[in-house]
Amino acid sequence: MKNFIYVFWLLIASVSMISCRKVEKDPLSYYPKVKTVSAVILDDGSVQVTGEIESEGTEPIEYAGFCMDTIPEPPMAKNQMITSVNGSSFSAIYQDFDITKKYYFRSWAANEYGYAIGNTLSLDSITAIPVIPPCTMTPNTTNFGSGTETFNNVGLPVMSFDDWTISASTSGTTFTLTFGEKPKTRKYVTASNVNVSSPGFVKITFNSGFVYGSVDDGADFYVNEIGINQYEMTLCTSPYSYQTSTLSIRFNFDCPL
Amino acid sequence: MKYIMVWLLMLVAAGAKAQLAVRLLHFNPTGDQGILFEKRFTAEIMYMQDFANEGGSSRMRAGISYTPLKSRLDTFPSYAVQEGSGTLVLPGYEIYKKYDLISAFMGADWAVLDREPFYLFLGGDIMGGVVNMEYEANYETILDESFSGGLAMVGIRLRAGTQYMITDKVIVFGEVTRSYYYIEEYSFQSHYDYGIGIQYVFN
């Protein structure tokens, strides 16, 4: 009986020692340590934010990402983006900034025990590098087969199910521009089918009484976002087919007008 | 609960020779408790038989223990994950304002080495008691809860120790223990402790 008690005791004691999990001296050691490394404005006016996991803590990282706001020290859930960690680095791209505001970016990471939030980086005057059309045109005019017309009404981009549409009119012609994304500063390419899965393309159709059709695929179309919901749009030249002829179209307008 | 434990202790002590012991110990939370709570010094009081007086290699003991634990951080940063149109990681926090372990224990020791006045012994206890807790948790938009009250706990404790009889009435001892217990609606928890004690034999 005595021997049994000793063996039983030693067995339980051994198992309990093996199952011991080390208690960290610093309670913060259980949590990740994270740093917001950079926030860089890209050519198209989006911002690439990069973070670094300085320490995973005592357990692997389960989630990592960023938050962003126009107030300093943005809370973790504000405009949150969750990303995957590559090595110790992770990054995300934010878009659609108001050029007049200052934006704050913070990284964060979470493991089994909890989360840690990184330092804040800020950027202001976030805008894309303007795209310069290789032509000069009289503002708000179109040269459309039969002569020059002046735009008198250009609407703001209107979002529908899977595209954004702008309507622009002269006294005799209405143009409809369809984008796969909210227009922003960049060079687009004309295409006959455009939706959210083709953000770099624009479909341009027109209706001028007896003449209607669409701009041929493959022409460059220049958009510059000059303010909040304010754009300059230019098509230097593009062919379009009408009956058996191939004609040329070009236009330039401010949006809205 | 406190009254019950005092009553139990008095009941055990009254039916036996008056052999009281006090142990000062260093309480080391492990597992989840180790993450949340600081180590600390505390004490326990017990009725403990004496190997020499019992004339054998085993003895009984029973006592009570009170250990108020202090949180290692004022606020523990935790989070919740909300799944909907996408995944959202919501920050939150947990605060342990109070976490007192109050337990009664009863068990036995077996002398592995009996060289009176010197003994080496192994032992174990069954423990039962209450964790008196004040807790607060908040996760943005998901949860805001607090709890204040007692949660029942039950568990076991293993022990290895040594003792020396200074006189027939005064015995000093040292022990290392390892404890496992289940706390109602909470989880399995554990700790170890080491300490020294003094026992006085009245009869």
Please report the pLDDT score of residue A189 as a whole number.
Answer: 95
Minimal Cα–Cα distance from B3 to chain A, Å?
32
* Strand A164-170 relative to strand A174-179, pairing: antiparallel
Average pLDDT along chain A: 89
Look at the block and give the residue holding tokens 């005595």: A2
Best CA proximity match to A140, nearest among A25, A243, A232: A232
CA–CA separation, B27 and B40 (whole Å): 5
Q: Which of B31, B34, B76 has the CB atom closest to A114's CB atom?
A: B76
Token pair recorded at residue A157: 């981009």
Contacts of B88 in chain A (CB under 8 A): 77, 80
Q: How many CB atoms lie within 10 A of CB A257?
A: 14
In sequence order, what are the beta bridge partners of A107? A66
- % residues pLDDT > 90 (chain A): 62
Q: Is the predicted pLDDT of residue B16 greater than 90, yes or no?
A: no
Please report the pLDDT score of residue A208 as a whole number: 82
pLDDT, greater one: B65 or A199: B65
Report pLDDT digits (tens) over A71-87.
999 999 999 999 999 99
pLDDT band at A198 (very low <50, low <70, confident <90, very high): confident
pLDDT score at A209: 78
Residue predicted with more confidence, B115 or B91: B91
pLDDT at residue A96, as a whole number:
83
Query: How far, in whole angstroms, is CA B199 from its chain's centroid?
Result: 19
DSSP states of A56-116 as a string? -TTS-EEEEEEEEESSSS--TTTT-EEE--BTTEEEEEE----TTSEEEEEEEEEESS-EE
Residue B166 near residue B196, CB atoms below 8 Å? no
Distance from CA of B12 to the nearest CA of A (A): 24
Q: How far is B157 from chain A (nearest CA, A)?
A: 10
Label residue B10 by pLDDT band (50, 70, 90): low
A75 near B CB under 8 A: yes
A207-217 confidence digits (pLDDT tens): 887 777 889 99
Whether A20 sits inside 8 A of B30 (CB atoms) is yes
pLDDT bucket at B144, cuts 50 / 70 / 90 = confident
Of B30, B91, B190, the CB nearest to A76: B91
**Which residues does chain B have within 8 Å of residue A77's beta carbon, measured at their own beta carbons?**
88-91, 140
Secondary structure letter of residue A29 according to DSSP: G
Least trusted range by pLDDT, from A16-25, A230-239, B176-185: A16-25
List of chain A residues whose C-beta atoms are within 8 Å of the C-beta of residue B91: 75-77, 115, 117
Q: How far apart are the first and last CA of chain B?
A: 30
Cα–Cα dist B167/B163, whole Å: 12
pLDDT for residue A162 is more than 90: no
Quick check: helix, strand or coil at residue A164?
A: strand
| Beta strands in chain B, from DSSP E residues, in sequence order | 19-30, 40-48, 58-69, 76-83, 87-115, 118-139, 143-165, 170-183, 187-201
Give the three-class secondary structure for A205: strand
From edge to edge, which strands make up the β-sheet containing A115-124?
Answer: A81-83, A61-69, A102-111, A115-124
| A176 has pLDDT over 60 | yes
Most confident of A10-19, A85-94, A233-242: A85-94
Q: Which residues contact A185 (CB under 8 A, 6 or more apart)?
A: A44, A45, A127, A128, A129, A130, A131, A223, A224, A225
Closest CA of chain B from A98, distance in Å? 24
The one-character DSSP state at A144 is: E
B14: helix, coil or strand? helix
Q: Which pLDDT score, from 0 to 100, does residue A60 have? A: 95
pLDDT tens sequence across A146-157: 688 999 999 999
ipTM for the predicted complex: 0.78
Please, what is the end-to-end C-alpha distance for chain A in angstroms?
99
